[in-house]
A and B are shown apart, each in its own frame.
Chain A
Amino acid sequence: MFENLSEKLQRTFKNLRGQGTVTEENIGEALKEIRIALLEADVNLNVVKDLIEHIRAKAVGQEVLTALSPTEQVIKIVRDELVAMLGTDTARFKFASQPPTVILMAGLQGSGKTTTSGKLAAWLKKGGHRPLLVSVDVYRPAAREQLQIVAKAIGANLYEGDLKGEAAGPALVERLAKEARREAIISGCDVMIVDTAGRLHIDEGLMTEMQRLKSLLNPQEILFIADAMTGQDAVRSAKEFHDRLALTGTVLTKMDGDARGGAALSIRHVTGQPIKFIGMGEKPDAFEPFHPDRIVSRILGMGDIMTLIEKAEEHLDRKKSEELAKKALMGDGFSLDDFREQLRQIKKMGSLQSIIKMLPSVGPFQGMQQAAGNVDEKQFTRIEAIINSMTAAERKNHELISGSRRKRIAHGSGTSVQEVNQMLRQYVQMRKMFKSMGKGGAVQRRLMGSLANMRGGR
């Protein structure tokens, strides 16, 4: 399927080596595969057509380099083309010279506006701002209560307002918005985030309401909150919202799933505005700036190595990791103590599932994504408990651990002897694997190299 774009391209290029240049003929098959890959990632059909033509124009006539394989060469062109389309601008905000800065949240039903309002408020708070949240969704049941709970959870200010029994409609919406702005000024909040009701882009009444809200509040930012799972229709909704409101950016939500997120390309294409953030979960902190190169890898099924490295940077104790890597690869020094330390480090990065998800789905990591589904996170805790129940001497030298010791360890850790056996087997296997990797030298150098790169990072 899609994850094998790289392989498919390799197949179509089998005969290309030695032909000297990429021609209309020999790239035809490859372009077909790229087209399918993009469509399966939910990039809009018309956008795909544009892209394919650009890629064709760039590729044809190129010399087949010796340094890169033709596959790598074409993938590079595809990547560059997609990254160029997504632009390089990131999560920057325009702030008003005269506070409060107003951010209007817009989008279809259920896309994640209310949740993202909370996330944005938490993000701004972290950056030293004082955001005020207000919901003008007077239509959906319990929509305003939802934002209220979200605001409380993150400790952000909320303008609750009083419906005073007024009928749901644009008049009430505008009153609440006006009152909230006054409240923001009085309470010294420098940013006001306006959560609105979900609406269809073809709903004349509600789209007009939104336009009026815009002219009333004169917002600095109008964000389109879009679901990463959206398919071909993304262009139509995004275009309509943009034509009516002049969006300033997009937040792509629910990126913590396995959707390829091709809608990002479609939306960027029709709005011309940057994707600013992505939503990575339901909790308030599951919110990240958007990086074009990363989503391109994802659309092409090549994993999110950058995010992984960044996460590692943030959470891992670099010196410890390097020591561990050195130990593991060079001698037989990888003890159970080291094993435990490594588990702890991994746990700090988040769930194992979320880590594995970021690995490429091609090449040596193929199949890992599926495997991620089967990982039992509790297993980690159990393994740690088992190691904790060992004596220091046992942790240094696992060969000490006899049958009776295993029984004691199982008892102490609340596990079974079978589990202890299994854990030890896994450990011995890992040790072996590290050792053989270390002997190869190349892997070791590469690992050291990437560690060095990490050190050089921001």
Chain B
Amino acid sequence: MLQSLFNTPEQKPGLMDRMKQAVARTRTGLQERMDDLLSLARPVDESALEELEGTLIASDIGVATSQEIIAQLRQQASRRQIRDGAELRHLLKAEMLRILDSVPLGQRTVTARPEVILMVGVNGTGKTTTTGKLAAYFREQGKSVLLCAADTFRAAAIEQLEVWGQRAGVEMVRTRQGGDPSAALYDALQAAQARGIDVLIVDTAGRLHTKNNLMAELDKIRRTARRFSADAPHETLLVMDATTGQNGLQQARLFTQAAAVSGIVLTKLDGTAKGGIVIAIARELQLPVRFVGIGEQMGDLIPFDSNAFVDSLLEG
């Protein structure tokens, strides 16, 4: 069942195009410079490599990862005597793909229904919206879905998810504002079991990774899920905003420590931010990106495609 989450067997035609399109809306100075750098005419010298490093940094890939990528290129370039931009582009793309694709896709099995997906992340990244989009995504695959409103803290968070439930045509289990999120999950798990639901998606409150008491709450939520099934939650998705800078690395690190994150959803890629931080995260923490968000509508969620993503970074 989880297979579906990882590599969607039958992708809708043009998904990759849509992703490219989403990012292509914004041809910016950055892309032009990148194009210029990677053009056939430009000789590959040290200044070109340095400039390229700058453009990687400008995509939020971070200094360390950018320097490493460039060091690789420098080595390859000198070894193979590469002299033109087209070849450099090819190598650059290959290097970024190598980082993204070498991340293991932790395959897990779901021994008992429901499959539990936990949505976590810092404030305002798009957890609730993505929960709604995912519900529609699974519904389209013919699965039954139940939502759990486990953000009992933020004003009107429950009402927000309720609207998404209606849009996606799925039910939602809630508790009162200020209630215990674990209790809401307990009720939802019971309901899901009783109704033979395939997928239970749990929307949690935004929390900064530095707040230990709030991170501990996630642990309690996870323990509640485990009481129902030893392998639940089956997937814990860290929802990250594509505009995030270098702090994203620490977010990924601490959420993984506290809540065993299994993958990332990169939202708001329809803006001009490139989301390059996920490359640094893949390199340092071996966390895969599962989905990208490209808008505020229900259909604006696409399974991650590393090829299209890297292309979007390089050419827009």
Interface of A toward B, CB cutoff 8 Å: 36, 39-42, 44-45, 108-112, 114, 139-143, 145-150, 153, 200-202, 227, 229-234, 236-237, 254, 256-260, 262-263, 282, 353, 357, 373-375, 377
Contact = CB atoms under 8 A, between A and B. Distances in A.
Given A146-B156, A202-B272, A259-B245, A377 B122 contact: no
B155 A150 contact: yes
Contacts of A45: 54, 57-58
B245 A262 contact: yes
Contacts of A258: 208-210, 247, 250
Given A145-B155, A229-B247, 17 more contacts: A39-B246, A45-B54, A109-B268, A112-B124, A142-B157, A146-B155, A200-B268, A202-B272, A231-B60, A231-B246, A232-B57, A237-B243, A254-B123, A256-B208, A257-B247, A259-B245, A282-B123
B243 A227 contact: yes
B154 A282 contact: yes
A109 B60 CA distance: 19
Given A145-B159, A227-B243, A232 B60 contact: yes
Contacts of B271: 108, 200-202, 233, 237
Interface in B147-192: 153-157, 159-160, 162-164
Given A254-B208, A256-B208, A149 B156 contact: yes
A428 to B, nearest CB: 27
B181 to A, nearest CB: 15
A202 B157 CA distance: 27
A141 B245 contact: no
Contacts of A111: 124
Contacts of A200: 268, 270-272
Contact of B247 (A140, A143, A201, A260): A260
5 contacts: A39-B246, A109-B126, A200-B272, A229-B247, A229-B251
A112 B160 CA distance: 16
A228 to B, nearest CB: 8
B212 to A, nearest CB: 5
Interface residues of B, number: 48
A110 B241 contact: yes
B72 interface: no
A255 B248 CA distance: 14
Nearest to A152: B155
A142 B159 contact: yes
B98 to A, nearest CB: 23
Interface in B52-71: 54, 57-60, 62-63
Would you list the 10 A-B pairs with minimal beta carbon distance, nearest first? A231-B245, A110-B124, A141-B163, A42-B245, A233-B273, A149-B155, A146-B156, A142-B160, A142-B159, A231-B60
B245 A263 contact: yes
A202 B26 contact: yes
Interface centre among A148, A230, A234 (most CB of B within 10 A): A230
A234 B274 CA distance: 12
B122 A229 contact: yes
A233 B208 contact: no
B279 to A, nearest CB: 13
B246 A40 contact: yes
Contact of B210 (A150, A233, A257): A257
A237 B243 CA distance: 10
A395 B159 CA distance: 53
Contacts of A202: 25-26, 271-272
A148 B177 CA distance: 14
A238 B250 CA distance: 24
Contacts of B251: 229
B210 A254 contact: no
Nearest to A35: B63
A254 B122 contact: yes
Contact of A230 (B57, B155, B243): B243
Interface centre among A41, A112, A227 (most CB of B within 10 A): A227
A202 B316 CA distance: 15
A39 B160 CA distance: 36
B155 A229 contact: no
